[in-house]
Structure 1
């Protein structure tokens, strides 16, 4: 089983948060608190402890993991709970304010299907909930006649997601609509994506980058869909020409920088230290001050895989701590993304 598949399986076997650890995770974390640290191998069966930030590498010895203080864990849980409650209160206040405004409009409020600023041609529409989002995308897809542009962040696309979108893609292909998709380099390793591209033929062209922005779907350069929260349970439907043109321009610039899926990812110069393309991308993000979880999300890999790359990077550069690693990255000229050497 590949490292990516093992990480996915491990995450599925540990579907919990820090407030309710699995039995093995509770034992390992308790042992780390009592002893001050545990060998890295002790966490192999419980990757949840690293993913949740309850254990992290010892800066002085990467073969050991040290625990996050229980008080800090408790503080984080309470802070997250307070933030969720505050967000719920703000949404309730906004809903009540909106209800008061709408009540005062009376007969001036037009039905959702009518013309005008409150009708179907609204420049911006908030879609709350996955069913409403999917319905709006299906309607835009049915009206599409020319092209679809998409940005697909994350790593390997789950085969069930590709299967669910296949009927819509086949219908677009049947109508002669061209599709262009941007993925991260990690997505190249998914057999589902390769099978999907082979099935779609010339109707779909895919390219990849080290990292891509948040999800984007753009139909005929007239309507775009972007997520409005991190869970992607709320989305924005954009129809304002200036906004849509801006998003299309961003897509085209990324497209020119991306590598076609059928072509190999070019290996950057690494100063002779044997650093891979992925490790150089991670080095550049570390130099910018990003934490492991943020780097993993931007590159479409698991936190566990990201930390394994960081450990190998430390070994190749001869760094024994995070601070020393940052210095070695700068000295080796790895503090810029791959392909950025020629940029001013």
Structure 2
């Protein structure tokens, strides 16, 4: 019997390459066809199956075998036995790969020890780390090893969402372990919806956040033990790892000075920080923008110029941290601005 399983599989690896009870690892990934399952069940009930009743896929998968000394007579093999035979080569390969992985790690462990000794004994307390994955891996490791305090400076207000998400993961992990954390952000982040959501989470876990109009550069200090500063325009491209006590003390002092001059961020200040809608015209413009109207349509409806409409949209977008007109609806909804506009409109005197 040529079953649909074998017909579908003949375009791939053939069964002639496998001997005895061995199973083709490619074909073994496919389930037997319906007619094969019926033949398999019948073979169990009757105790044997003739060659015509034993589909090729059952033989290939090792679910039927010939009786010893009785050619052309088959018996059904329990699925657990066939599965064990099929998966044993894969499991062995996985075990070999795990052993190879552990051996590789052991080889590099010696180099890591030598590297740490060189830093301590010969005074070279810095190293340049290059590559996005490499930089993130080192930062993840060192932040996870923090036991006393994590200090961070993040001067870029409009960083990618992926960067912010990774920072959230690191900082939340530190706070949940009971480690202190102080973070400096730019003042403009107070109007950035994604940043505000992160701030609420950090504050709820006991972290401290302050903001300043200007900050020098990105900085991460773990326990006054190791510090990281960027050495390229992109934080993920390259970072300088510093372990020498003198430079770390300088960076800690610079951070503490900036911290003392920064403005604390609290839950109350987040809730009260709302965009300022300065006129009735601006309120109407924002409502029409969210409804999806173009500048020309809004200008026509309100009896003003498209330039005026564009300028009002730009001002509100800047306050909300929106990078484009298409993104404006989300921060408006997040800050409940439309509800505020509706309330204020109801209070306006009708003519």
Q: TM-score, normalised by structure 1?
A: 0.42
Larger radius of gyration: 2
Structure with bigger RCO (C-alpha 8 Å, 6+ apart): 1
Give 1 or 2: higher helix fraction.
2
